[in-house]
Amino acid sequence: MVSGGIPSVKWPAVLGLWLLLSPSGLPAEKTAAAGGIRFCVPFWVLRDGVPVQPRIGREDLSIFAGPEPLRITRQEQPGTPTFLFLAFDLVEDQAPINAAKQALAEKVGKLGPEYWVGIIEVQETLSVIQDPTKDKRLLLKKIQQSRQFGKAGLLESVQALADFSSSLMRKSSVRVAVILVTDSDVANYRTEYSNPTINRSDSRDLSRRFQGRALQEEISRLSTAMVRFPVPLLVVHVAPGRDSLNRTYQNGLVQVTGAAGGRLFLSKSTGDIPRTLQEAFEWADSFYAVEFEVPPRPSGLFEIEAKLGATLSPTMRLSHPARLFFPSEDQP
């Protein structure tokens, strides 16, 4: 079981495949000399806000923690072996769910041979319904068979999902990305996030002034926690609510995904779902997994900055997690 508590998960196939793909057959991540740590972080190269895939050598990328340059130890390009986890949090209306499944089936069917795809449900529990495989016929079957019931589960499971997937990318020589497809409404969680008004007739009732405070506190907690798990976490919301509390929820998802290095994609309508999923797959396909060594420093958050070489920087820019977390000596 990974940190965050994932019940009923069978990972042997995932870990066995990781060992097969890792050149040494052992975890690639090692503690650097004298207490330093190696981080593996997703980077995107953007032109006009759209991810592109130039061939980047180590001389084309520089990473800094303050004024200090960091040594790049590994760099996985787009097109190299990749674990792609499709996570489902679909519990609401059937029309957007069907549209999402159809679009996902089309995208999976077009994936290249470098992809192993796993399927995870993040509803009432977080569980694997298909270990990573290249068998597209099996994947299409499992996508169509995925269940829609119960309560929304994104906020309750996203930390554990990011923990596992970022650890897998850090300890192996493969890229790892997560596309989480959700139709979650903030009112459909087991936890009451709306902070409902207790006494509407009492103007002094504080619940009238702080609607959604419980949601904002949970978003703040998750955003702080997700800094520890840099991974391409791409959340596609296929049926975003338009009321004020759901807009707060969606803004919060931008913060949560951004803290890990990912992003949120919102579908404007059911007909917009294929385009939104296409964007998410393009981002999953285009990232660079870059490992670098950070010398010993006090435990806590620190900022990184990355720069492209002169041949690329005039027309392109980088997108990556802005902050990372350096653990204390007694943390793994």
The answer to whether 17 and 11 have CB atoms below 8 angstroms apart is no
d(CA 176, CA 184): 24
- Domain-located, residue 89: yes
- 60's enclosing H/E stretch is none
- 132's enclosing H/E stretch is strand 126-133
pLDDT at 116 over 70: yes
- Domain-located, residue 56: no
- Domain-located, residue 311: no
Cα separation values, 283 from 1, 82, 157, Å: 29, 13, 22
244-261: average pLDDT: 95
Q: What percent of the chain has pLDDT over 70?
A: 83
pLDDT at 12 over 80: no
Q: Which of 91-95, 219-223, 285-289, 303-307 has the lowest mean pLDDT?
A: 91-95
With vertex at residue 38, the alpha carbon angle to CA 132 and CA 161, rounded to the nearest 5 degrees, is: 35
- Domain-located, residue 19: no
Q: What is the mean pLDDT of the chain?
A: 85
| Residue 172 neighbours by CB under 8 Å, 6+ apart | 18, 21, 22, 27, 28
Q: How confident is the model over 255-268, as pLDDT tens digits?
A: 999 999 999 999 99
pLDDT given at position 199 = 54
- Domain-located, residue 12: no
Kindly report the length of the chain: 332
Q: DSSP 3-state helix, strand, coil percentages of the chain (rounded to 5)?
A: 35, 30, 40
Q: What is the CATH number of the domain that holds 150?
A: 3.40.50.410
Number of domains the chain is built from:
1
CA nearest to 173, candidates 72, 52, 22, 324: 22
- Domain-located, residue 52: no
DSSP 59: G
- Domain-located, residue 300: no
Is residue 291 very low, low, confident or very high in pLDDT (cuts 50, 70, 90)? very high
Domain that holds residue 174: 82-198+205-285
Q: Considering only residues 151 and 332, tell me which one the structure prediction assigns the higher pLDDT.
A: 151
- Domain-located, residue 137: yes
Q: How confident is the model over 52-93, as pLDDT tens digits?
A: 999 998 789 999 999 989 999 999 999 999 999 999 999 888
Q: Is the pTM of this model over 0.85?
A: yes
